[in-house]
Structure 1
Amino acid sequence: MSTLNQQYEEKVRPCIDLIDSLRSLGVEKDLALPAIAVIGDQSSGKSSVLEALSGVALPRGSGIVTRCPLELKMKRKKEGEEWTGRISYQGHEEEIEDPTTVDKKIEEAQNEMAGVGVGISDELISLAIASPEVPDLTLIDLPGIARVAVKGQPEDIGDQIKRLIQKFITKQETISLVVVPCNVDIATTEALKMAQQVDPEGERTLGILTKPDLVDKGTEENVLEIVHNEVIHLNKGYMIVRCRGQKEITEKVSLTEALEKEEMFFKDHPYFHTLYSEGHATVPKLAEKLTLELVNHIERSLPRLEEQIEDKLAQTQAELDRYGNGPPSDMAERLIFLIDEVTAFTQDAINLTSGEELNCGENLNVFSTLRREFGKWNAHLDRSGQNFNRKIEKEVEVYEDKYRGRELPGFINYKTFEVMVKEQIKQLEEPAVKKLKDIAGDVTV
C-alpha cells in the first residue's frame, strides 16, 4: 500500500491520537470533535470499502449489518510488527488476538447494545487496529439507510437510522464520506441527499464511487463526469474504488489479493485508467486522501476546539467555586472543619433572629420579615373578628327566641357557643396554613 512521506507521517499520528484520546475521555458529549463519518444506502458497498481500508472483515449479510456507530481507529505500525486489535463499548474492553474474529466481536457488541435482531443503537463501539498494512486514520461507520422495513424491523427503522446519521453529520466538525454505487443514479441516493441538506455547498462532503465493474456498457462516460466533479459538485471531490464482491468473498479471495486485482482493473480499463493515473482511483489512494483530509480538518478545528474547552473549563470552575471547599481528607482536620461549619451556622441563625444583616444572602432579616407578615395576618384577624362578632349577636338573638332555658339573660348554652367558635376556627385554618408556608419560604436560609 502506498504511504505518505515520512515527514508527513510524523505529523499525522499526533493529530489523530489527540482527537481519539479526547473522544475516549467522553469529551464529545460536551464538544464536537473533528471526525469522518461514513454513510451510504444499504448495499452501497460501504462495508467493503471499510474492509479494504482496515484489512479485516466486518459484519455482512442482508438488511442492516451496522447497527451501532462503529469508531474504526487504524494505526500504522512499522514493517514486521504484529497485528493488534482492541474493541471497547459500554465500559467493556477486550483485546482481539485473531484478526479473523473481528466481525464476530462486533456482532457480539451490537447484540449487547442494540439487542439480538435488527434494532439499532446510538451507543458507540470503538475498534482499534494497529498493523503495518493500515493507514493512520479514524473513521466512524454509521448504519446503512434502509428505505423499507423488513421482517422483525420497526416500521420507522428508516427514520431511526436517518436521525442517527443526522446526529453526526449535522456537526460542522464532521466530514461526510458518502458511498455511492456506480450502477445507480447518484442524484437519487438518500445518503447524498442527507449530506447536501446539512452541507449544501459541499464544503465537508467527499464522495466515493463503488462497484465500477458493474457499470452498464455505454455509461462509463457518466462515471468519469461524476468523478471529475462535473455532475454534483463537492469541494472535496470524488474517489472511485473496486472492492471484493460477494463472489470473491465466497471464493475466499483475500483482501491483499483484492487490492492487486483492483489495481489491475483500473490500469487496464479502457475508460477508468485515466482516473487511476490522475490519483482518483484505488483504495490505497483513497486512504491517502482521507488521512490528508482528516489531519487538515483537525488542524483547522483545533483553535475553535481549544476555545470551546477553555469556555467549558471556566464554566465548570465557576460551578465548583459556588460549592465552596469540601471537607478535608485528614480525620483531625475534618473534626475542626465540622465544628467551624456548625458554629458558623449557629451564628447565622442567631443573627437572623436578632435582625442583623448577613453577607450570605438577601432578604434574610427574619424580624422585619415576620413583622410584615404578621401585620398582614393581624389585619386579617381583625376583619374576621368583626364578622364573628356580628354573627354571634345574630346567633344569640335566635337562641334567645327559640332555645333559651334557665340561663340568665345574655348567657347562652356552652355547647352552642362551642359550635360557633369551632366554625370560626375552621374558616381561619386555610389562610393560617397559607401564611405559615409564606413565612417559612421567606425565612428559609
Structure 2
Amino acid sequence: MEQLLPVINKLQEVFIAIGASSDAIQLPQIVAIGTQSSGKSSVLESIVGRDFLPRGTGIVTRRPLILQLIHANPESEEKDQPEEWGKFLHCDSIFTDFNDIMVEITKETERELGLGKAISSKPIQLKIYSPNVLNLTLVDLPGLTKVPVGDQPPDIEKQIYDLCYEYISNPNSLILAISAANADMATSEAIKLAREVDPTGKRTLAVVTKLDLMDAGTDATDILTGRLIPVKLGIIGVVNRSQQDINVKKSIKIALGDEAIFFQKRYPGLSDRNGIQYLAKTLNKLLLLHIRDCLPELKTRINLKLAYSQQTLATLGVPIIEKGPELLRVITKFAADYCATIEGTHGNIEIAELIGGARISHIFHEVYFKTLEGIDPLGGLSTTDILTAIRNATGPRPTLFVPELAFELLVKRQIKRLLEPSLRCVQLVHEEMQRIIQHCITPDLHRFSKVHNRIVEVTSALLRERLEPANSMVDNLIAIELAYINTNHPDFASGHEIIARMMSEAGEEYKNRRITRKPKPSVEKPPVELQTTFENNNDPSSKRIIPFGYLMNGENARKDDSDENAASFGRDLTDRERVDAELIKRLIRTYYDIVKKSIQDSVPKGIMHFLVNNVKKHLQSLLVERLYIKEEITELMEESPHVIEKRNRTIHMIKALEKASQIVSDVRETQLW
C-alpha cells in the first residue's frame, strides 16, 4: 500500500504541469488550514524536520504549496547523493540547502504575484527527499485572516476563505484543521470552515498547537480527548518552537525532544497519542487508507473526464486549411437547420418549449384566433352612437327605412378593429423567426465569431426586409374589406330577413307569455304599431296583433342601455328608435363575423407567403451572396481567440488524462492491500 502515494504524486505533477488544478479529477490529498497565528507553518516544518518555509509579518504564504514528502533510504542512494534535498516542479535544480528552498518559494511567489500582498490559487509544488520523513503529501494554504493589514487587499479575508474552501470542498480531501490551544476552541476558524464542507467530520483531523502557552491552571485534556469538540478522525496536540527558539536557531530535533518531555510531564496518559511524530504517522496512515478507498472511483473519474474532453475537442474541430469550402459548408448547414426548424424536421427537437414552425402554428391558431374571437363586434359602439349615425345619414328628410349609409359607416368602424391584432400576429411570427436564428447556431459558428455575426446580421436584415411586405399585406386586406361592403354576400342576412327574424322571435315570445299591452290614456296619441299575425294554437283562424314595441321585450330589451340612452337623449327612446338600433346591431354583428372569418383565414396565409416561405426560399442564396466574397473569406474564417485557447487547453488536458489513466492502470489490485 506504500506504493499508492507515489501514484497520487505523479498524478499531481501531471496536472500541475499543464496549469490545471488537481481538483480537475478530485485527487485525494491532505489540506492544512488554520489562522495566521495558529502555528500552521511550524507544524509543517516540524513534520519535515527542517526550516524551509518563508517567515515574516502578515501574509507570507500567498500561493498553495503542494508539499510531497518522500522517504529516501540512504543505503540505496549513490554515494555522491546528498542525504536530504528538495526539488521544485517549475525548475530542474536540486536544492540541498533548505534556506535556498525558502528563498526559491519567495521568488516563485513574487514572479507570479509581484511584491504586493495578493494571493493566487496557482500552486507551487515542492518535493523533499529525506530519510527522516514518512511518505506524505500535504497542501499548505494561506492562513485565514479577518482584518486587512498594511497593503493587503480590502477583500483579503474573502480571497483566502474562497481559496481554502475550494481545496477542502474536494470530497477526496482530508482536512487538517490547525488551531491554537491558547485561544477558545469554540471560536476556531479552521474547525468552523471544516464543518461547512464536512459536517459529519469523517474527513477532518484537528491539530491543537501551543499547548505550552495555555494560561496557568488550565488543562487541555477535554480538548485532546474530544469531549469539548468531537472530531471523527481525532484531535492531536503538538508543541512547536516559540519565536524565541527560532531566533536562537533551536533545532527541530531538540524541539521534538522537549515536546516529548512536555507531554510526559503534563499529559502522561495521552503522551503516546500526541506530538509531531504521532501526527506524521497518523497522517501517513490516513492518507494511504484514503487513497486506497478513492482509487477505484478515481480510475472511473479519469476515464469519464477523458471521454468528455475528447468530445469537447471534437466540437471545437481542427484548424481549417481550405477556408472557402468550409465557409460554404457552414452557410449551408445553418440555412438547412433554419428551414428544418420551421418545417419541424430538425434533428434536435426541443421538449421544453414550442419553437419554429410549431410556435408559428400556435400563434396562428391559438393566439391570433382567440384574440379575434375575444373582440366584441359591437365593442365601443353604444345605442346612442348608432342612432346618431342614423339621424346624420338621413339629413333633414324623414325616412321610412334604416339608411344603408349608416350601416356602412358603423360596420367599417368595427372592421378597423381587426387591423391591430393582425399586425401584432405578423410581429409575433417575425420575433419567432428571429429567435430561430439563435436556435440554429452550431458549434462551428461559435468557432468563427465573424461568420457567426455576419450570418445573424444578414438573416436579421432579410427578416426586417420581409416584415414590411407582410405588414402591407395585412393593411391591404383590411383596406379591401373597407373598400366595398358587400351586402349581397351569400352568408349575409339582409335587413328584411333580420326584420322577419325579429318579428318571429317577438311573436313566439308573445304567444308564450300571453302579454297584452295596457292602453294608454285616451288624451295621448297611441304608439305606432307594426301589425303581424300568428295562428292561435287553439284557433288557427284567429288573428292577433303584436304591438311594435314588443319587439324590444324579453331578451331583445336591455334596460340599462335604455336608461343610458334615455339620459343621453333627454327622453325615452321611441319604439321605432329601439327597433332601428337593434336592426343595425344585428346587421353589424352578421357582417362583422363574415369579415372576421375571412381575415382569420387570409392573414396567416399572407404571413406564410410574404414572410416565412420567402425567407426560407432566399436565405441560403442571400447568405452565399453576402458572405462568400473571395477577398473576405480568410478574415471571416479566423477562429475566435477563446476557441483557440480552449482547444489548446483541451488538448493538454487530454494528454494529461491519458498519462493519468496510464498511471492508475499500472496499479495492480494486489497493491491496494
Q: Which residue of 1 aligns with 2:62?
A: 67
Residues 1:20 and 2:17 aligned together: no
Contact 1:149 1:156 in 2 (8 A): yes
Residues 1:150 and 2:144 aligned together: no
Q: Secondary structure at the match of 1:130?
A: strand
CA deviations 1:40-85 (Å, max 9, x no partner) are 1121110100111122321112221111111111111003552221
Which range is displaced more, 80-89 or 45-54?
A: 80-89
Q: Secondary structure at the match of 1:148?
A: coil
CA 442–309 in structure 1, closer or farther in 2 if over 3 Å, else same: farther
Give, in angstroms, the shift of residue 210 of structure 1: 0.9
1:115-194 correspondence to structure 2 within 5 Å? 115-194=114-193
Q: 2:86 and 2:182 mapped to 1: Cα distance? A: 35
CA 12–241 in structure 1, closer or farther in 2 if over 3 Å, else same: farther
Residues 1:262 and 2:259 aligned together: yes
Q: 1:203 and 1:138 mapped to 2: Cα distance? A: 19
1:1-400 correspondence to structure 2 within 5 Å? 9=2, 11-25=3-17, 26=20, 28=22, 30-54=24-48, 55-79=50-74, 81=77, 82=82, 83-89=84-90, 94-220=93-219, 223-267=220-264, 269=265, 271-277=266-272, 280-321=273-314
Q: 2:260 and 2:130 mapped to 1: Cα distance? A: 21
Counterpart residue type for residue 158 of structure 1: E
Q: 1:219 and 1:182 mapped to 2: Cα distance? A: 10
Q: 1:197 and 1:263 mapped to 2: Cα distance? A: 34
Contact 2:85 2:129 in 1 (8 A): yes
Q: 2:36 and 2:316 mapped to 1: Cα distance? A: 51
Q: Secondary structure at the match of 1:74?
A: strand
Contact 1:39 1:144 in 2 (8 A): yes
What are structure 2's unaligned runs of at least 5 residues?
340-345, 349-355, 357-439, 441-462, 479-609, 625-673
Q: 1:78 and 1:133 mapped to 2: Cα distance? A: 9
Contact 1:84 1:96 in 2 (8 A): yes
Q: Secondary structure at the match of 2:133?
A: coil
Which range is displaced more, 258-267 or 237-246?
A: 258-267
Counterpart residue type for residue 37 of structure 1: V
Q: 1:180 and 1:382 mapped to 2: Cα distance? A: 79
Aligned residues: 367
CA 438–216 in structure 1, closer or farther in 2 if over 3 Å, else same: farther
Q: 1:438 and 1:272 mapped to 2: Cα distance? A: 89
Q: Secondary structure at the match of 1:110?
A: helix
Q: Which residue of 1 aligns with 2:648?
A: none
Give, in angstroms, the shift of residue 208 of structure 1: 0.5
Contact 1:175 1:205 in 2 (8 A): yes
Bigger radius of gyration: 2
CA deviations 1:293-347 (Å, max 9, x no partner) are 11111122222222222222222333445567889xxxxxx9xxx79x79x96xx
Counterpart residue type for residue 57 of structure 1: F
Contact 1:16 1:295 in 2 (8 A): no
Q: Secondary structure at the match of 1:20?
A: helix
Q: 2:262 and 2:466 mapped to 1: Cα distance? A: 96
Give, in angstroms, the shift of residue 123 of structure 1: 1.4
Q: 1:296 and 1:167 mapped to 2: Cα distance? A: 23
CA 266–304 in structure 1, closer or farther in 2 if over 3 Å, else same: same
Q: Secondary structure at the match of 1:66?
A: coil
Q: Percent identity?
A: 34
Q: 1:273 and 1:13 mapped to 2: Cα distance? A: 34
Counterpart residue type for residue 59 of structure 1: P
Q: Secondary structure at the match of 2:277?
A: helix
CA 169–323 in structure 1, closer or farther in 2 if over 3 Å, else same: closer
Contact 1:88 1:94 in 2 (8 A): no
Counterpart residue type for residue 51 of structure 1: E
Contact 2:54 2:105 in 1 (8 A): yes
Contact 2:175 2:204 in 1 (8 A): yes
Give, in angstroms, the shift of residue 251 of structure 1: 1.0
Counterpart residue type for residue 286 of structure 2: E
Contact 1:38 1:141 in 2 (8 A): yes
Q: 2:61 and 2:467 mapped to 1: Cα distance? A: 69
CA 438–200 in structure 1, closer or farther in 2 if over 3 Å, else same: farther
Q: 1:242 and 1:442 mapped to 2: Cα distance? A: 80
Give, in angstroms, the shift of residue 99 of structure 1: 1.6
What are structure 1's unaligned runs of at least 5 residues?
1-7, 328-333, 365-372, 388-430
CA deviations 1:254-310 (Å, max 9, x no partner) are 22222222223223x1x3222223xx2121111111111111111222222222222
CA 59–295 in structure 1, closer or farther in 2 if over 3 Å, else same: same
Give, in angstroms, the shift of residue 119 of structure 1: 2.0
Counterpart residue type for residue 150 of structure 1: V
CA 247–307 in structure 1, closer or farther in 2 if over 3 Å, else same: same
Q: 1:321 and 1:361 mapped to 2: Cα distance? A: 19
Counterpart residue type for residue 9 of structure 2: D
CA deviations 1:203-222 (Å, max 9, x no partner) are 111001111211223212xx
Q: 1:439 and 1:265 mapped to 2: Cα distance? A: 89
TM-score normalised according to structure 2 size: 0.48
Give, in angstroms, the shift of residue 178 of structure 1: 0.8
TM-score normalised according to structure 1 size: 0.70
Counterpart residue type for residue 34 of structure 1: P
Counterpart residue type for residue 72 of structure 2: K
CA 108–439 in structure 1, closer or farther in 2 if over 3 Å, else same: farther
Counterpart residue type for residue 316 of structure 1: S
Q: Secondary structure at the match of 2:30?
A: strand
Counterpart residue type for residue 308 of structure 2: Q
Q: Secondary structure at the match of 1:247?
A: helix
Q: 2:467 and 2:113 mapped to 1: Cα distance? A: 62
CA deviations 1:76-134 (Å, max 9, x no partner) are 10035522212245xx5543232222211111122222221322222111111111112
Q: Which residue of 1 aligns with 2:510?
A: none
Counterpart residue type for residue 70 of structure 2: K
Contact 1:15 1:295 in 2 (8 A): no
Counterpart residue type for residue 315 of structure 1: Y
Q: 1:438 and 1:46 mapped to 2: Cα distance? A: 72
